[in-house]
Structure 1
Amino acid sequence: MYETTFADIYVDLANECSDYHVHKTDRVTVTISEKLNSPDCFHPDLQEPLLTMKNFNNLLKCVRFKVERDESVGLELDLKDQPQGKKRTAFTEMMESSTKRKPPPLKDQNSLRFTGKDKMYNNICDEMAKCGAEFPLSMTNDVIRKHVSAITDVLWYLDGNMEKIMERSLHYKDVKPVPKRFLQSSFKGLNDWKKKKQKAPSIQSTEIKKHSSALFNIVTCAFTAQWGEFRRDLEHLAISLDAYATFLDMSNDAQQKRQILDHPVRQVGDHAFLEHRTSKTDVVFPQYSILDDIMARREKYSYLLYDEKKHTSFQKPMDSQQRWNFLKYLKLSVPVDILTYNPGGAVGSTIVLWRTNEERATDEVMQCSVQVYEKIRVLLPEFHTRQMRKMFVSKFCNLPAVSVPPAVLRVIYTELTLDSSAEQNKGIENRIREAILSEDPDIVTDLRHLNPGRPNDTFNSFFDKLSEIIEDMTAADERRHNVEHLSQFVSVRDLINQVASKLPEHTNIPSESTVLFAFVPKNSHTNVSKLYKSKIPLQFKVQTRQLRSSHQDDHYCAAVFKYSRHFSVKYKPSVTFLCVDDKSKVDFGEPGLYVSTGVRGKKSIAPMQSNLSALDHDMQSKGSLTPSVCLELTFLRKKMIPSTEE
Structure 2
Amino acid sequence: MENSLVQPWASDKKWEQFISEVIQLCEVSRKFIEYLDNVNKRMRIIHNSSVPIRNGIDHIKVLDIDKTLTTNENYNEIIKLMHEKEEFEPTCIDDLILCNVIQPVFLENMELPFSVTLYRYYSGNYMESQALLKVHELLPKYSTQQIRKNVVNKYSLYTRLSPAILCTLYQDLIGDASNSPNLISQEMQECIRLMYETQDPNIIFDLQKNGGFKGTKFDEFWDEIDYYFNKIIPAVHERRHTTMMFMPVAISIRELRENIIERLQTKHDEETFSKIPIPSEEWIRLQFWPKTIYAKTSMQYTGRFEISYKVQSRLLRKSHPDSHYCAAMFRYTRLFAIKFRKFACFISADDKHKVPVGEIVETSTGVRNKATLASLGTELTSCDHDFTKLSVTLSISLFCEIPKDISGSFYQEQVFVSYKDSVFQPSSALRHSSKWLKCLHEKYVTLPEMLIIYTDGGADHRTTFGSVQLAMICLFLKGNFDFLAAV
**TM-score, with length taken from structure 2:** 0.36
Please identify the structure whose Cα radius of gyration is greater: 1
